[in-house]
Amino acid sequence: MERFFGDRKITLYSSGTAALAQAMANCASRNSVRTPEVIIPAYGCPDLVAACVHASVYPRLVDIAHSQWSYDLEALVHSLSTNTVAIVAVNLLGIGDDAARLIRLCKERHIALIQDSAQFLPRESIDWPGDYVVLSFGRGKPLNLLHGGALISSLADKYPPSVPPARYTTRARLLSSRMAAIAFNTITRPAIYRVFSALPGTGVGKVIYKPLTNPAPLPERAWQRVAPAFELYRQKPSYSRDIWAAAVEEWSDFGIAALDYPGSPLPAEPLRLALLAPDRGVRDMLVENLDRAGTGASRFYGTDLTKVAGIPEVIACQSSFPNASSLADRLFTLPTHDLVNADTVRITRELVLACHRSQEVA
């Protein structure tokens, strides 16, 4: 795996969030500023904020580009200061992270670039321009081991982990078991997932802020599970957007477009298919109808980071981010895993067409 990532040092952690927090802490330790700040996008997983809080860095939100997945460059440059120690480039659903453009800005300003690749893991070796790369092996991620993550860095030896190695807890052993994998695969089948997520107290499908716990690196024996799983992942593709290609082309006539980022083709193997509806009303109607049919549609995060339930006041009080808010209102996703078949696509196309016709009548 080190050769796959350009002979960089790889440290396994209890989660991708823990690995991200360590990368942020390392960036802060390399600078003498008293109040270090890390740039994160205003739309994203609340774990981005949890990592900042744990690393004792100020999470500076920056708006994204209009109807695209990248930072608003003007807003990003305006947000940089002498306190900025890192920019986090998030690869949303495998769409891209704009790291090639951001690395030039980071080098000019002597700022570290952290590539948050929790939702993207290539099967062939690629160039990683960032100072750090973060992977997640949690549920629903490309390499799905139900827990764990990795920090990849050429600087790891100079800035070793600041916390002692973790012991395997009872929870970690349960998540590593075959029974856990079977249970997860069963629950995530669309029809079963819909019923399970509706049960009170499960928390499944809810986007809320959770502080980072158990941030320590994993012991060496964790490689006994990660290394062979990584090789198997590389050899056996399991998802593709191709099955949706004709549908996406058809939906463009309805004002539904694929979310992309500038200067790059859409990925062949996204974690989920990301689409933009014309507005929130249409998006919510589509997701409600598709979800009722068991197709696995999702609003994804559903809101920008300032409005996530339980988010710290340091985030909630930051200024409005119109493009991130618009994305949160319009974005919906469809599955791309191997349970998606021609019937799934047919049912989805029929429902989208029905929603479009009802909008025309209205």
The closest alpha carbon to 301, from 332, 258, 259, belongs to 332
| Average pLDDT along the chain | 86
Distance between CA atoms of 152 and 138, rounded to whole angstroms?
A: 17
Question: Which pLDDT score, from 0 to 100, does residue 21 have?
Answer: 97
Question: Which pLDDT score, from 0 to 100, does residue 154 have?
Answer: 76
Cα–Cα distances in angstroms (integers) from residue 208 to residues 171, 192, 359, in the given order: 21, 22, 32
Question: Which pLDDT score, from 0 to 100, does residue 263 have?
Answer: 61
| Helix segments in the chain, DSSP class H | 16-29, 47-55, 73-79, 99-109, 170-175, 178-187, 190-198, 223-235, 245-251, 280-292, 313-316, 322-330, 342-361
| 1: amino acid identity, one letter | M
Determine the 3-state secondary structure of 179 from DSSP. helix
Determine the 3-state secondary structure of 252 from DSSP. helix
If one compares 238 and 312, the residue with the highest pLDDT of the two is: 312
The structure tokens listed for 276 are 């933009």
Q: Looking up tokens 């050429």, which residue turns up?
A: 154
Statement: residue 317 has pLDDT above 50: yes
**How many residues appear in the chain?**
362
b (16+ CB within 10 A) / e for 123-141: eeeeebbbbbbbbbbbeeb
Distance between CA atoms of 172 and 322, rounded to whole angstroms?
A: 40
Query: Tell me: the pLDDT tens digits for 118-175?
Result: 999 999 899 999 999 999 999 889 999 998 999 999 764 444 444 444 344 444 444 4
b (16+ CB within 10 A) / e for 317-332: ebeebebbbbbbbbbb
Distance between CA atoms of 119 and 134, rounded to whole angstroms?
A: 10
Query: Tell me: the pLDDT tens digits for 57-116?
Result: 999 999 999 999 999 999 999 999 999 999 999 999 999 999 999 999 999 999 999 999
Statement: residue 185 has pLDDT above 60: no
Query: Tell me: the pLDDT tens digits for 247-295?
Result: 999 999 999 999 987 666 666 678 899 999 999 999 999 999 999 999 9
Which residue(s) pair with 38 in the sheet? 59, 86
Statement: residue 298 has pLDDT above 90: yes
Cα–Cα distances in angstroms (integers) from residue 152 to residues 20, 136, 155, in the given order: 10, 11, 9
The closest alpha carbon to 293, from 351, 332, 251, 243, belongs to 351
For the chain, which domains are there? 9-158+169-207+216-235 (3.40.640.10), 242-361 (3.90.1150.10)
Question: Which pLDDT score, from 0 to 100, does residue 328 have?
Answer: 97
Q: Are 168 and 147 in contact (CB under 8 A)?
A: no
